[in-house]
């Protein structure tokens, strides 16, 4: 694809707001007007991963270099050489999955098979690539030093706090790369949270368009509520709790206050991703994801 990988594109991106057309109000809320598109990239990647996991397939090598941008600057997952159906996973293929900087602590220590939770951890590191505009996690550090930092000091890659806090994704990052595997959210939870953040952006974009319309006095609509915190985890599920599927036995996620039908989308009706080609063989899973517009 002519736009290349996501990090390549982000490195070429100039801080001039070219990714988002004129939106002074958006800039007031989010800072640089290109930052909302960083959030959009995260949403698109998490939606694609949500669909893969719903098909019981782990990616195994999620990182910025394996996310391509199509002609419409939409994210497309690539490089499924490490992808596996959960039933085919072994320690042999788990050992070589993910670049070391994107590996979860349990994978680094070779204490885990490939799991959905490994992909969630890698997504958190990929988000750091996005908010640093394509920079390598832990730049200037060799892999052996990175491994020591993660395993011995429980360290995570540095990131620009101002951008992360303006986008409201700090909680997502911290939950995705939690060293406690059972505390990591599913991609269904991540998608729901990030989409809530995006709905806030949509309000400010629509509001800006109203203000720029000739003779418009504004719509008078109220700002959307902030995205709800990610669900907490419980050892014993409350009665109003939906238990989502996980590759970690005993893991449960609370969706208190939500209707059961609102928590996880039906597997047969993916929200935004269509897999055009899906071929599952012994060692390779190939697919191409494309965003649908409703």
Active-site hit among 16, 32, 37, 61: 61
* Sign, Cα dihedral of 170, 172, 173, 174: positive
* Range from 8-17, 69-78, 189-198 carrying the lowest mean pLDDT: 8-17
Examine residue 27 and state whether it is found in any structural domain, yes or no. yes
- Residue 122 forms part of a structural domain: yes
Indicate if 79 belongs to the active site.
Answer: no
Kindly state the helix (H) or strand (E) to which residue 176 belongs, with its residue range: helix 170-176
Question: How sure is the predictor about 282, in pLDDT bands with cuts at 50, 70 and 90?
Answer: very low
In a domain, 283, yes or no: yes
Q: What pLDDT is recorded for position 112?
A: 79
Q: Can you give the residue range of the structural domain that contains 10?
A: 6-208+269-291
Q: Does residue 86 sit within a domain?
A: yes
Q: What is the pLDDT of residues 195-214, one digit of tens each?
A: 999 887 765 556 555 555 55
CATH number at residue 57: 1.10.510.10
CB 235, CB 243: distance < 8 Å: no
Domain-located, residue 106: yes
Q: How many domains does the chain have?
A: 1
Q: What is the mean pLDDT of residues 97-110?
A: 87
pLDDT at 75 over 50: yes
pLDDT tens-digit readout, 27-66: 444 445 577 899 999 999 999 999 999 999 999 999 999 9
């Amino acid at each position: 694809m002519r736009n290349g990988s996501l990090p390549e594109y982000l490195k070429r991106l100039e801080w001039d707001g070219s990714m988002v057309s004129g939106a002074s109000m958006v800039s007031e809320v989010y800072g640089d007007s290109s930052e909302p598109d960083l959030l959009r990239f995260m949403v698109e990647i998490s939606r694609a991963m949500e669909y893969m996991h719903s098909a019981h397939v782990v990616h195994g090598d999620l990182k910025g270099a394996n996310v391509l941008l199509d002609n419409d600057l939409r994210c497309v997952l690539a490089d499924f050489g490490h992808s596996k159906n959960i039933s085919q996973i072994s320690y042999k293929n788990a050992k070589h999955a993910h670049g070391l900087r994107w590996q979860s602590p349990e994978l680094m220590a070779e204490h885990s098979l490939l799991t959905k939770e490994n992909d969630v951890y890698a997504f958190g590191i990929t988000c750091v690539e996005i908010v640093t505009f394509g920079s390598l996690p832990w730049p200037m550090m060799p892999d052996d030093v990175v491994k020591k930092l993660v395993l011995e000091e429980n360290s995570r890659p540095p990131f620009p706090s101002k951008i992360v806090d303006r986008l409201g994704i700090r909680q997502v990052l911290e939950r995705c790369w939690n060293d406690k595997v059972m505390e990591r959210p599913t991609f269904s939870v991540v998608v729901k949270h990030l989409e809530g953040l995006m709905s806030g952006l949509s309000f400010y974009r629509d509001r800006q368009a109203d203000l720029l319309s000739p003779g418009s006095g504004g719509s008078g609509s109220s700002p959307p509520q902030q995205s709800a915190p990610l669900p907490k985890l419980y050892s014993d599920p409350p009665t109003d709790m939906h238990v989502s599927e996980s590759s970690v036995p005993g893991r449960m996620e609370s969706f208190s206050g939500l209707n059961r039908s609102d928590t996880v989308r039906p597997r047969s009706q993916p929200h935004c991703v269509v897999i055009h080609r899906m071929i599952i063989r012994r060692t390779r899973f190939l697919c191409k994801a494309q965003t649908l517009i409703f």
